[in-house]
Each structure stands twice: as C-alpha cells, then as structure tokens.
Structure 1
Amino acid sequence: MTDNVSAEQLRQFIERIERLEEEKRGFADDIKDTYAEAKSTGFDTKTMRKIVALRKMEKHHRDEADALMETYRQALGLH
C-alpha cells in the first residue's frame, strides 16, 4: 500500500514539474519576443538585459558590483 501511495505521489510531482517546465518554455518565448520587439523599435537589448539583471539585485549587491567595476576600470585606465 505504501508503494502505491509513494508511486502516486511521485507521478503527481513529475506531472506537475512537466506542466511547470512547459509554462517556463512559454515564458521564455514571451521574453524572447519582447526583447525582439524592443530591438525592432531601436532599443539596445544587451543594455536592457544588463538593466534587468541589475534590477534583480539588492541595492547593496548592486553598489558592490558598481564599486568593483569602477576599481577595475581605473586599474585598466578605462575612465
């Protein structure tokens, strides 16, 4: 009996993961389409991707990354 319950639970988890993976593919396609639309109107998508990544970061992590970037730029003479 325990084997049946475990097998049923496992099947439910697998099916749920499969549905979520399908949704994830759909979201990824939507994101790709949105970047393509932005590019077609003249926006630079590389910069947009960087901005999206920065917005995901907490402020103190963003500040640390900015300070490190500035240190590296100065070290390489990229003012």
Structure 2
Amino acid sequence: MREAITEPGGIAADRLRSIIERIERLEEERKGLSEDISDILAEAKGAGFEVKVVRQILRLRKQEPAEVEEQETLLDLYRRALGM
C-alpha cells in the first residue's frame, strides 16, 4: 500500500526519511565490508597467494557443484580443441 505524501512533515514523509536513512546506513556498512575484503586480499597477496585466483575460487564456491563441473569440462574440451 502506498502512503500519500500530502505535506513535508506528514507520516509518509517520516516513513520516506526512515527508508532513506536505513539505506544510507547499509551503504556505509557495505563500504566498510568492501574495505575489509580488500584488506584480507592484501593479506593474502602478502602471504604469497595470487589474488586473481583467490577471487576465482570465491566465485566457484558460490556456484553449484554440477555447474562448476560443467564449466570445467567445457574449458577442458575447448583447450584440447585449441591444442593447449
């Protein structure tokens, strides 16, 4: 249900302000988390890990095992077709 905004100080305006402020807080949290992830990746790099590969592993872990297997099978097939 939509609330009609009839005046700046009305209930609907308060609700809108609340929504905007909640989104702003979440965006700040996301920025902080992104910075934390960057710090961890820098730590991984400092420990001798290749950051590109770490990111690739993170992407793979989000996928279903069958999907990963299918992609790896196709990648292997394409490599063999190209003589790699």
TM range (shorter): 0.7 to 0.9
Q: Looking at CA atoms only, which structure, 1 or 2, has the larger radius of gyration?
A: 2
Give the TM-score taking structure 2 as reference length: 0.82
Structure 2 segments unaligned to the other structure (5+ residues) = none
Q: 2:40 aligns with which of 34, 42, 47?
A: 34
Report the Cα offset of residue 2 of structure 1. 4.3
Displaced runs of 4 or more, over 4 A = none
Task: Give the helix-richer structure, 1 or 2.
Answer: 1
Give 1:77 shift.
1.4
Unaligned runs of 5+ in 1: none
Match of 1:71 among 33, 56, 77: 77
For residues 63 and 14 of structure 2, the distance between their equivalents in structure 1, rounded to whole angstroms, comes to: 39
> Matched residue pairs, number?
78
Deviation at 1:68, TM superposition (A): 1.9
Residue type at the aligned position of 1:57? Q
**1:58 and 2:61 equivalent?**
no
Q: Which residue of the other structure, out of 15, 40, 52, is the alignment partner of 1:46?
A: 52
Normalised by the length of structure 1, the TM-score is 0.86
Which residue in the other structure is 2:27 paired with? 21
> Take 1:37 and 1:51, find their aligned partners in 2: how far apart are those partners?
16
Q: Distance in 2 between matches of 1:65 and 1:55?
A: 13
User: What is the percent sequence identity of the aligned residues?
Assistant: 47
Q: What is the Cα deviation at residue 71 of structure 1?
A: 2.1
